[in-house]
A and B are shown apart, each in its own frame.
Chain A
Amino acid sequence: MRLPQFDYYSPRDLPEALDWLAEHQAQGVRVLAGGTDLLVDIRGKVIPDGHRPRCQQHRSGPWSARIVSSEPTDCLIALSRIPELRGISLDGHHLRIGAMVTIAELERSPVIRELLSGLSDGAAQLGSPLVRNRGTYGGNLCNARPAADTAIPTLSLAGKLVLASKRGERTVDHDDFVTGPGETVLEADELLKEIIFDLPDNTHGSAYIKLANRKALEISVVGAAAALTFEPMKPNAGGRGSGKTMMIEEAWIALGSVAPKPLLITEAGEYLKGKEFNRQTAAEAARIAAETARPITDHRGGLEYRKMMVEVLVRRALNRCRDRALSGVDHEVGS
């Protein structure tokens, strides 16, 4: 089946794109980034009438079907030729990632692997290599799915989203950006321009762990991201032999696939703040996360199972943050 009819507009730079969007705020304008979701979404689907999966009635027919498609699409504005939306750059304590940076670029960037390990984990586990080669970071965020593999680490790393329009720019936190499944605060004339991370001065580590039924082309059952910053370490503090005491300065924990949007577990972060990192504190933070998560039962997993897995994954993610803060990043991804 072919794609529906639409016009296509491909601006050469950001001001041109924003001017055009300001004039064409009508419904039916969709923003084309990598296309790995949008072009699937706008293609009509054949749905048999009265379709109920695995239902006796359905098997016996009679067959009739209709073609359904998502919102009408009159025009696509393609962002692929806009240079301002590309590139990853490190400027002192700020790391800037353009919205049109592909997932594969995120995955392969040594800077991101080192400084935003959790985001690197997420990028390496999104979809399949072919999806990662075309799909973009900005696209994944703007799609605002509750399981989005780059969104969960972005939330835990306190990424700030810069939204641009002809009226000017504004910066929003990821938690305020997503308002529901597939819904964001983006106005009709706005584009996501870039994502900015403030890097901590002190030792830090982050991680994202995805639980899914397969290793590729899969949506997570549960995804857990954590980011920890530690106070400067005093050798042999506490006088307990060779073990180093690691005091937590900042802690962020975020979960995917357990709520209508990526969920920040502020209670667990607050609990860890100022405490020593050890087995007990990590376990308690994981327990708080499992208690706060509000998953549903669906074909990917049951509510009870998901809650149990939240506890396990958060604990593992916290341990991985600690290991990375101590000894640097492991370079084998996709575990």
Chain B
Amino acid sequence: MKRIVNLRINGLNYEIALEPRRTLAEALRYDLGLTGTKIGCSIGDCGACTVLIDGVPSFSCLVLAVEAEGHEIMTIEGVAEGGKLHPVQQSFVEIGAIQCGFCTPGMVLTALAFLKDNPDPSDAQIRRAISGNLCRCTGYQKIVDAIKDAAKRMREKQGVL
């Protein structure tokens, strides 16, 4: 039986009727049209469906939408501000860390949360941080480079402010 669920996504409130079996990934894509979140394996292996729940990277395919009620959710649609790409996104574009793009939304969100706690990470720390997000195109090197580059941009930006 469907029930009313209140979700807060990218700073906006949504009230939707859902079956309890609806996963957060399905609710985002099929009920709310937020198709930036990708569904790859549906079993918590690939990380393509990563969203931030209260700032923590989480598989949206293994979280029931009803369980996400009362939490702050951020999807890839909420990363850019006012039409301007976030430094992480800008670095991914410029370094060439995107090929087919399917892993990119999850990868960007994982990187975003990681850089908040680690403003100046080593390659090894980056590789460990993205070890739950699989990419079949890039061989990861460009992604690691992009996250390093983004860290630098964010540090510089903070230095200016």
* Given A40-B43, A129-B110, residue A35 in contact with residue B132 (CB < 8 A): no
* Given A35-B64, A39-B64, residue A130 in contact with residue B57 (CB < 8 A): yes
- Taking CB atoms, residues of chain A closer than 8 Å to B47 are 128, 130
Question: Do B132 and A217 have beta carbons less than 8 Å apart?
Answer: yes
Question: Do B50 and A134 have beta carbons less than 8 Å apart?
Answer: no
A8 within 8 A of B: yes
User: Out of B21, B62, B130, which one reaches A36, CB within 8 Å?
Assistant: B62
* Given A35-B63, A80-B67, A133-B57, residue A7 in contact with residue B20 (CB < 8 A): yes
Q: Which of A5, A8, A334 has the most CB of B within 10 A?
A: A8
B66 within 8 A of A: yes
Residue of B nearest to A9 (CB): B20
Chain A residues 110 to 137 lying within 8 A of chain B, measured CB to CB, are 127-131, 133-134
* Given A35-B62, A35-B67, A134-B63, residue A215 in contact with residue B42 (CB < 8 A): no
B103-136 contact mask (Cβ, 8 Å, vs A): 1 or 0: 0000000100000000000000000111111000
A10 within 8 A of B: yes
- Taking CB atoms, residues of chain A closer than 8 Å to B133 are 130
Q: How far is the CA of A26 from the CA of B111 in the complex (A)?
A: 44
A67 within 8 A of B: no
Question: Do B21 and A131 have beta carbons less than 8 Å apart?
Answer: no
User: Out of A1, A43, A129, which one reaches B132, CB within 8 Å?
Assistant: A129
Q: Which of B1, B63, B64, B133 has the most CB of A within 10 A?
A: B64
The size of the chain B interface, using a CB distance under 8 A, is 29
* Given A129-B110, A130-B44, A134-B63, residue A217 in contact with residue B131 (CB < 8 A): yes
A76 within 8 A of B: yes
- Taking CB atoms, residues of chain A closer than 8 Å to B26 are 2
Residue of B nearest to A4 (CB): B21
Residue of A nearest to B49 (CB): A130
A305 within 8 A of B: no
CB distance from B110 to the nearest CB of A (A): 7
Residue of A nearest to B44 (CB): A36
* Given A129-B57, A130-B59, residue A39 in contact with residue B131 (CB < 8 A): no
Question: Do B56 and A133 have beta carbons less than 8 Å apart?
Answer: yes
B58 within 8 A of A: yes
Q: How far is the CA of A5 from the CA of B18 in the complex (A)?
A: 12
A216 within 8 A of B: yes
Question: Do B131 and A215 have beta carbons less than 8 Å apart?
Answer: yes
Residue of B nearest to A34 (CB): B62
CB distance from B71 to the nearest CB of A (A): 10
Question: Do B62 and A1 have beta carbons less than 8 Å apart?
Answer: no
Q: How far is the CA of A78 from the CA of B20 in the complex (A)?
A: 11
B77 within 8 A of A: no
What are 28 pairs between A and B in contact, CB < 8 Å? A5-B19, A7-B1, A7-B20, A8-B20, A8-B64, A8-B66, A32-B64, A32-B67, A35-B63, A35-B67, A36-B62, A40-B62, A76-B64, A78-B64, A78-B67, A104-B56, A127-B132, A128-B47, A128-B131, A129-B128, A129-B131, A129-B132, A130-B57, A130-B58, A130-B132, A131-B132, A216-B131, A216-B132
Q: A35-B64, A36-B62, A134-B63 are in contact. List 5 more A-B contacts (CB 8 A).
A: A39-B62, A128-B131, A130-B59, A133-B58, A216-B132
